[in-house]
Amino acid sequence: MANIKEIQDRIKSVNDTMKITNAMYMISSNKLRKARKMLAETEPYFYSVQGMFSRVIRHVPVDTQDIFLDKHMDIPKEERKKGYIVLTDDKGLAGAYNHNVLKIVEQHIKNDGPNWKLYVVGEMGRQYFLNKSIPVDEQFHFTAQNPTLSRARKIAARILNDYENQDVDEVYMVYTTMKNSIVCETQFFQLLPLDRKENATGGQDVLKATSGALQEEFLMTPSPEAVLDNIVPSLVTGFIYGALVEAFCSVQNSRMMAMDSANKNAKSMIHDLTMKYNRERQGMITQEITEVASGAKALKRAKEAKEQRDEMMRREAEAMEEEEGN
């Protein structure tokens, strides 16, 4: 049987943990509202950018030679250098959020052989790969907290620079989106080179193209390549910023769900421990009552035995006196 003091200590420990999980739940809730507001305030601009790009790309001549449209067909698929932008969090306690992203990336780099490069956002991802002796870009230090447009521009500039210098032939993004307040999904899509068929959306939902785009003809001066070179950096920045905000929303939602689950488990543990404490306490009280009752009975028996001995001694004394008198 567990000691009552140990049970009390465990109940106190669980209550202290609940205070932490409740605080983290409230913090994540506030950050989630902030992130949703941030996305709602900035996405109209990027909707317009993507909508404009969708209109432009339809009118770019098929024979246009631009680095952002180059599929590198002259390079065998297994020899193409791939870059992965991996969005993780700086902290844990978010359920399977980080694990799902890292698992997908690890599977891809195993299949790619040595032709890959990791651009990891978030300390959890960096530490995961470094602990497994998987090299990451050491100069790519970006936090996942409080995503900003300025940070997205810096990330985009670094990625575009490596792509233009042919350090990577293809660029992919791996991050998490929040479908609803319960379900989060890990997304994997190709950022570069751009896909004409999907109007550079890559099938992802970070920034949705506007519907009903006009079908007018464009006059591209000085050249279609120059137009693309001017538009694509803004488009890539928009994708990256949208992914940063979506990932930030997702991790806060995942952390809220994890903390809510932890609170429920803690309450269940406290209930079980309280029941156990009450049983132990009741058993102790019952034992004390039994011991007191047993002690009272023993005293009563001892008193009765003493009285019997005294009575026998008195009778023996009276008998001796009678014998002496005779």
Structure tokens at 200: 């550079």
Instruction: Estimate the crossing angle of helix 224-325 against helix 4-57, to 10 degrees.
Output: 170
* Residue 215: predicted pLDDT: 54
* Residue 210: predicted pLDDT: 38
Tell me which residue of 166, 157, 170, 85 sits closest to 120, measured CA to CA.
Answer: 85
Residue 292 lies in a domain: no
Q: How far apart are CA 254 and CA 13, in angstroms?
A: 24
List per-block mean pLDDT (blocks of 10 residues) for the chain, which spans 326 residues: 78 89 86 81 75 76 76 80 90 82 88 85 88 82 81 90 88 86 83 68 41 57 77 85 86 84 89 88 84 84 82 79 72
Parent domain of 190: 26-258
Instruction: Estimate the crossing angle of helix 97-112 against helix 123-131, to 10 degrees.
Output: 50
> In the 8-state DSSP scheme, what is residue 182?
S
Residue 11 lies in a domain: no
What pTM was estimated for this model as a whole? 0.74
CATH code: domain of residue 95: 3.40.1380.10
Tell me which residue of 260, 196, 252, 263 sits closest to 59, measured CA to CA.
Answer: 196
Residue 242 lies in a domain: yes
Residue 289 lies in a domain: no
Residue 196 lies in a domain: yes
Residue 157 lies in a domain: yes
Residue 79 lies in a domain: yes
Question: What total of structural domains would you count in the chain?
Answer: 1
Q: How far apart are CA 71 and CA 171, in angstroms?
A: 11
DSSP per residue, 40-76: HHHHHHHHHHHHHHHHHHTTS-TT---TTT---TTS-
* Residue 193: predicted pLDDT: 86
Residue 264 lies in a domain: no
